[in-house]
């Protein structure tokens, strides 16, 4: 039976594709306070602002491409049973060709009813006020905002608990519950953290190796090492 690899990715894996990470630029996200554009309160206050914000993100996503880090992860599937758990709302893992992807924080190329969460639609163009679901309520981005529950966290925890190898790439590990997944990996599993700014968080995590490198450098090297093993 193939060993199980679970990969938790964050904004850092898409940075070299040209998508800005969240933290760093003075706490602002493309010039906005996160609570204005990524919370139910922000949505209640100003739907136009929120829709425009995600329209820009969606349009930009359609102009960028997966990088060698997204691509290298696909190679692992030849020898391992691989699940990618991503906090990213982009579709770069899909476009690179990964087979099992769980989106913890939603997807930019989907929208959903603001009345009924189960009504989800593929969406590539701009979303505007007046765009409605089949039950007549305003459509909103299919994104998990701050203060909302994370519906995929339970399957993500179950999968993490079965990992033989757990790889974390490009996340500041500050947003919970996603950041806690590393602690669901069994103590005996081998763990790797690839991030150029990784801190020392990690003394408390057994079997963790920190690789301080950008994703496009660190991921292909780690994949090669795991494929040669």
Helices (H), 38-152: 40-45, 47-61, 68-75, 92-96
Counting every residue, how long is the chain?
229
Find the shortest distance in angstroms from Cβ 210 to ligand OAD.
Answer: 12
3-state class (DSSP) for residue 207: coil
Find the shortest distance in angstroms from Cβ 1 to ligand OAD.
Answer: 31
Find the shortest distance in angstroms from Cβ 35 to ligand OAD.
Answer: 10
Q: Which is nearer to ligand OAD, 12 or 66 (CB)?
A: 12
Nearest one of 134, 178, 123 to 156, comparing CA atoms: 178
Instruction: Write out the two tokens for 148.
Output: 């909302």
Find the shortest distance in angstroms from Cβ 65 to ligand OAD.
Answer: 15
Find the shortest distance in angstroms from Cβ 136 to ligand OAD.
Answer: 27
User: Measured at CB, which residue is nearest to ligand OAD?
Assistant: 12
3-state class (DSSP) for residue 92: helix
Say whether 105 is catalytic.
yes
Dihedral of alpha carbons 79, 6, 164, 153, sign: negative
How many C-beta neighbours within 10 Å does residue 62 have? 11
Dihedral of alpha carbons 190, 11, 71, 99, sign: positive
Q: Which is nearer to ligand OAD, 186 or 196 (CB)?
A: 196
Q: Which is nearer to ligand OAD, 39 or 100 (CB)?
A: 39
Q: Which is nearer to ligand OAD, 132 or 225 (CB)?
A: 225
Say if CB 65 and CB 95 are below 8 A apart: yes
Q: Which is nearer to ligand OAD, 3 or 23 (CB)?
A: 23
| Distance (Å, whole) CA 184 – CA 192 | 14
Q: Which of 105, 142, 183, 188 is catalytic?
A: 105
| Distance (Å, whole) CA 151 – CA 39 | 16
Interacting residues with ligand OAD (CB under 6 A)? 10-12, 15-16, 21-23, 34, 38, 87, 89, 105, 143-144, 170-172, 175, 195-197, 214-215
Active site residue ranges: 105
């Amino acid at each position: 039976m193939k060993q199980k690899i679970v990969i938790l990715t964050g904004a850092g894996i898409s940075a070299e594709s040209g998508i800005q990470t969240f933290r760093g630029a003075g706490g602002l996200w493309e010039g906005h306070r996160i609570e204005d554009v990524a919370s139910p309160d922000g949505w209640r206050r100003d739907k136009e602002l929120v829709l425009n914000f995600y329209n820009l993100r969606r349009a930009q996503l359609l102009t960028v491409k997966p990088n060698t880090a997204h691509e290298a992860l696909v190679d692992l599937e030849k020898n391992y049973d691989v699940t990618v758990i991503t906090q990213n709302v982009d579709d770069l893992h899909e476009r690179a060709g990964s087979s099992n992807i769980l989106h913890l924080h939603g997807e930019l190329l989907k929208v959903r009813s603001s009345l009924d969460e189960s009504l989800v639609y593929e969406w590539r163009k701009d979303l505007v006020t007046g765009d409605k679901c089949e039950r007549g309520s305003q459509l909103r981005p299919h994104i998990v905002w701050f203060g909302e529950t994370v519906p995929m966290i339970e399957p993500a925890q179950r999968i993490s608990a079965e990992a033989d190898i757990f790889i974390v790439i490009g996340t500041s590990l500050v947003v919970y519950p996603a950041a806690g997944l590393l602690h669901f990996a069994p103590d005996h599993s081998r763990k790797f953290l690839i991030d150029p700014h990784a801190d020392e968080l990690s003394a408390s995590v057994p079997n963790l190796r920190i690789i301080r490198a950008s994703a496009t450098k660190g991921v292909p090297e780690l994949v090669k090492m795991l494929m040669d093993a």
